[in-house]
Amino acid sequence: MTIRWGSYKVKNLYDEMLRASGRPRPAAQTLCSYLRALKDEDIEEYKLAAESAIHVMGVTFTVYTEEEGSIDRAWPFDIIPRIIDKKEWQQVEAGLKQRVQALNLFIDDLYHKQHIVKDNIFPAELLKDSKNFRPECVGVNPPLNIWAHICGSDLVRDKDGTFYVLEDNLRVPSGVSYMLENRLVMKRLFPEMFDQCNILPVDDYPSQLYDTLAALSPRPGDQPEIAVLTPGIFNSAYFEHAYLAQQMGAELVEGSDLIVDKNDVVYMRTIEGLTRVDVIYRRIDDLFLDPEAFQSDSLLGVPGIMRAWKAGKVALANAPGAGVADDKVVYAFVPDMIKYYLDQDAILPNVPTYKCIDKQEREHVVEHIHEMVVKPANESGGYGMLIGPQASKEEREKFVNLIRRDPRNYVAQPMLTLSTAPTLIGNRVEPRHLDLRPFVLSGKQTIVTTGGLTRVALRKGSTVVNSSQGGGSKDTWVVDMETV
């Protein structure tokens, strides 16, 4: 059975490829006809080719389970790309730039004069309880006054097709390597599509990242020594750490490769002795970064690295403490921040968010818990969430108790109907929900990836797209319809 668009129904939601009438969106027209012309054997062949490419390239992620420890899995990949018209994308891009700019101003403000608190825009008690506010960072001036150099924001579309920001990841967002790898696989599989459509390239990211990092060097003029600091091969994103280091020509280091001397300079151990390091793209969470400053039992970190950073002898990206804006409660204030710092209206809307710390909003959440998605403020990877409509009665009650016990730690959002895109299930196309994670680089200039990583929930009806919970990914094509 070949791909028949006639049996693919779009009902009461937004589909990325087809309109409700069943006709393809203009940017997806070429792809739709191309897919329709494929025979069963072709589809099978493409699927196999994609699988083997991914296997051989060693594109894996690590899943943690209690029984087995960590295991490598190939990252499930769907060969049907997700298509976005360039005109629409430019709006999203502008929105993301605006958002990240405001977030950086916010973080810098919090670690200095805290105007936004004094002006009663952001409540002081939220700051007091924030798990990711680092008193150690107060008064520090990172280069260019930027704290979140790399940000990954998750976007979703609701029924009517509007893009919403679901959350901002300002600590150590991952996924960009999959975006780059997916494109590589697609170019191997469908070279003719890249001939026929005007698909904008994504490959520039590693050099943009390099430039962003290099600009932070405390020794301007010299060629900076840049290192990617990884927790090691058992981290779920190790593949990405190695990949980015390789693509940038930077050293991939582990904590034990680095030492900080008494003059607060960071060195790496090499076969020639010690070499100074200028910029560290750290992929280790704040609390594990420096056993001297944070968790003293951390084996992953580098003792003294906070000293070196505060003394301005080394640049860290993202800066320690940047995660304060990563909080899902803080998220609810982003539109206010944009207004406050930039005097602009947010281009990209937030998903309406109820803050459980507010009594009225909390009661609303408890009453409507069966319609809500409840999220803890500081978890990532989809852990510790409640999806109201799909949860059992016990699970809902459990969350009501959790919320009442620690209201500051929870927010709730109405259940959105996420957009879908045709996804190959067996040899048929079926709609599956998806989201989009673009990456934003902030340095001397702000750069947004073209598209981003599209994550797709492979289980029917599911909206959980995380790789650790049955998600897969698609290549994201931003198609330019104007230049031919």
Partner 1 sequence: MLSRVANKIYWMARYLERAENTARLINVNTHLLLDFPKRVKLGWEPIIDITSRKDNFYSLYEEADERSVIRFMVTDLRNPGSILCALNMARENTRNIRDIIPREVWEQVNALHLTAKTNARSVQTQRHRYDYLRSIILGVQTISGMLAGTMTHDAGYDFLRMGRNLERADMTTRIVDVRSATLLPDMSEALSPFENLQWVSVLKSLSAYQMYRREMRLRISRSDVLKFLLQEERFPRAFYHAICQVHNCLESLPSNEKTLLLITKLQQKVQNSKLGAFDQEKLHEFIDELQLGVIKIHDSINKTYF
Residues that bind partner 1 (CB under 8 A): 55-58, 228, 233, 238, 242-243, 245-246, 250-254, 256-257, 268-273
Q: Minimum Å distance from CB 181 to partner 1?
A: 11
Asked whether the beta carbons of 391 and 377 are under 8 A apart, the reply is no
- Give whichever of 141 and 246 is closer to partner 1, judged by the CB atom: 246
- Give whichever of 168 and 251 is closer to partner 1, judged by the CB atom: 251
Packed helices 205-214 and 176-189: angle between N→C axes, nearest 10 degrees = 150
Q: Minimum Å distance from CB 246 to partner 1?
A: 4
Q: Minimum Å distance from CB 49 to partner 1?
A: 15
Q: Minimum Å distance from CB 471 to partner 1?
A: 23
Q: Minimum Å distance from CB 260 to partner 1?
A: 16
- Give whichever of 268 and 421 is closer to partner 1, judged by the CB atom: 268
Q: Minimum Å distance from CB 180 to partner 1?
A: 12
Return the closest-CA partner of residue 245 out of 236, 235, 254: 254
- Give whichever of 74 and 366 is closer to partner 1, judged by the CB atom: 74
- Give whichever of 64 and 234 is closer to partner 1, judged by the CB atom: 234
Q: Radius of gyration of the chain from Cα atoms?
A: 23
- Give whichever of 255 and 451 is closer to partner 1, judged by the CB atom: 255
- Give whichever of 259 and 311 is closer to partner 1, judged by the CB atom: 259
- Give whichever of 266 and 337 is closer to partner 1, judged by the CB atom: 266
Asked whether the beta carbons of 75 and 297 are under 8 A apart, the reply is no
Q: Minimum Å distance from CB 241 to partner 1?
A: 8
Integer angstrom CA distances of residue 221 from 102, 143, 164, 210, 413: 30, 15, 41, 15, 48
Q: Minimum Å distance from CB 333 to partner 1?
A: 38
Longest dimension (CA), the chain: 70
- Give whichever of 198 and 247 is closer to partner 1, judged by the CB atom: 247
Torsion of CA 296, 299, 300, 303, to 10 degrees: 50
Q: Minimum Å distance from CB 31 to partner 1?
A: 28
